[in-house]
Structure 1
């Protein structure tokens, strides 16, 4: 007898993207994301504006996800939502809606840790993408997080290294701001870096013991370097933009790789999976793929749409929690900071 399919409605609202997805077991039927362009003029996410935009977007986004998946709300097995970490106002919009759907349809409610979701996005069934085998090392890199995690099972994870100050995404975005590039600047640094010489300018890598990271010193080094060069030549940035971006990106990738090499040495695990918005960066992807040949690693890079904030990754955790009956009641609360 064939078991009945599990249909998970997933909601992600941790920052400035309103997202909904529908999964049938581990397969994504729809993955809808509404971006908030309003933050661009402010050079960063404004929490109050983000939560208001979520309120406007959440109903049409969920409606679009159900329609694209060709699944009715009566077919849903459970609803999963991002509990945290994230912006409190944004999280509350998603959790409130998920609780309402759970009550109205009398289906299980599943709370998901946003960082777990970035890691487990690798387990979405996607043609041409291999799933990692436990245990593996996850490098989770985003605007708010930089972590190396030992992943022993779907629900057994341990952070063995993390940033002591800025996250890697901040290092990209703040460096871009210094160069006069608009927000979000990380993708623009990547774009210009592909046209430049990565060894044109040398930036000192921070000396941080163990597996932890630090990016605030690099940001300061970039600032002082640019101020000095612009004082000598007002057109320095314009004349050297590609090389500056390539050099910044090269330094950041080197910092990440140094820690990964140490993590592999210390744990004996040579399966590496990356996740989070910054894993879309072409320099990081290229260097990781080269590491397969260079160090004998097995590397896993998710499909591009599952790297940035999306609901499909919430749905795959929701599916695993559904199978293990890890449900919540309506007293569950959103958390801006949440225990890993």
Structure 2
């Protein structure tokens, strides 16, 4: 008998639902929220309201595209946290009610674990290669920068993480300083492709071990801009591409330096990247370069699996279903938590 999992993701500002059958993805639907663009960031209250409007049609569309009826579902997986509490409550409450109405198990998923396990999503017609255990995963997003030792789908260890700002957060803030739009990541990526990454130098932190720090880079970028603008009021406009390329290179260098050290220390050749910043072209190119230089087997997710999506939640739910690892009705959403 087939195992069919419905996954629901609502941790931030994207409402998503996906269906996985016997490990293969049948559908992955995402509803974005453009309302936040004019505010320069996600507004939690607006996000939760939009989730309430989107969740029923998104789930309906995911089931429709998968060609699956709700009665065929084996379980409902949902993002329990971390994330925005208001957004999470919409998805968690819907998942609990939906699962109870169908009489099927509920499976709670850690959002960060979901990003890591996105590498195990399979789809018809794809190569469907995935890392061999154990492997290292660099998880980089607007809220997280972590190096994770993945021993199994249920056993992961954070061996390095940011002590202040995340990489994506630093990029967004530097983008905002330059007067660019939100989110800053895709904008910086596009501009960087036309710039010289060696044009400007910014401070890199000296943190022991495998931890990261990006607050110093953000400060260095801000004060450097102030000095340059004193000499040329149009400095940003005249150097926008080079600034973007130099900023991107600095962030990527910081990320890859620690990851390279960790891979050597742990003797691991299978190295993966996950999270929203893994969509960045410079970071993807760096992974391919390190594969050639150090003999890594690198795993880079499809763009559809980099940002918040329910496919990774459904995949995580599918793996937990195999272990009979189910949630109880009294499990609350949580806004902050590490891997577990």
Taking structure 2 as the reference length, the TM-score comes to 0.98
- What residue number does 2:174 align with? 175
Q: What is the CA deviation profile of residues 185-226 of structure 1, one whole-angstrom value per residue up to 9, with x for unaligned ones?
A: 111001000100000001121111110000011011111111
What's the secondary structure of 1:140's corresponding residue?
A: strand
Q: How many residues in Structure 1 have an aligned counterpart in Structure 2?
A: 337
Distance 1:204 1:261 in 2: 20
The two structures, once aligned, show a CA RMSD in angstroms of 0.8
Match of 2:71 in 1: 74
Structure 1 CA distance for aligned equivalents of residues 334 and 243 of structure 2? 38
Q: Secondary structure at the match of 1:210?
A: coil
Contact 1:129 1:303 (8 Å CA) reproduced = no
Task: Specify the alignment match of 2:34 in structure 1.
Answer: 37
Offset, 1:258: 0.6
The alignment status of 1:11 with 2:8, answered yes or no, reads: yes
Per-residue CA deviation, residues 88-130 of structure 1 (Å, 9 max, x unaligned), is 0100000000000111000000000000000000001131341
Offset from partner CA, 1:18-71 (integer Å, 9 cap, x none) = 000011121111100001111111111111111111001101111111111110
Where does residue 225 of structure 2 map in the other structure? 226
Report the counterpart of residue 92 of structure 1 in structure 2: 89
CA distance in 2, matches of 1:49, 1:263: 40
Aligned to 2:6, what secondary structure does the other structure show?
strand
Which secondary structure does the structure 2 equivalent of 1:169 belong to?
Answer: helix
Please tell me whether residue 25 in structure 1 is matched to residue 22 in structure 2.
yes
Q: Secondary structure at the match of 2:208?
A: coil
- Separation in structure 1 between the aligned mates of residue 60 and residue 198 of structure 2, nearest angstrom: 49
Q: What is the distance in 1 between the residues matched to 2:95 and 2:49? A: 17
Give how far 1:339 is off: 3.7
CA deviation vs aligned residue, 1:139-165 (integer Å, no higher than 9, x gap):
000010000000011101000000000
Structure 1 residue 259 corresponds to structure 2 residue 268: no
Counterpart among 99, 103, 108 of residue 105 in structure 2: 108
TM-score (norm 1): 0.98
**Whole-angstrom CA distance in 1 between matches of 2:203 and 2:338:** 33
1:134-213 superposed matches below 5 A: 134-213=133-212
Residues 1:56 and 2:57 are matched in the alignment:
no
Displacement of 1:298: 0.9
- Alpha-carbon distance in 2 for matches of 1:38, 1:27: 33
Distance 1:276 1:247 in 2: 22
Listed as ranges, the gaps of 5+ residues in structure 1 are none
Segments of 4+ moved more than 6 angstroms: none
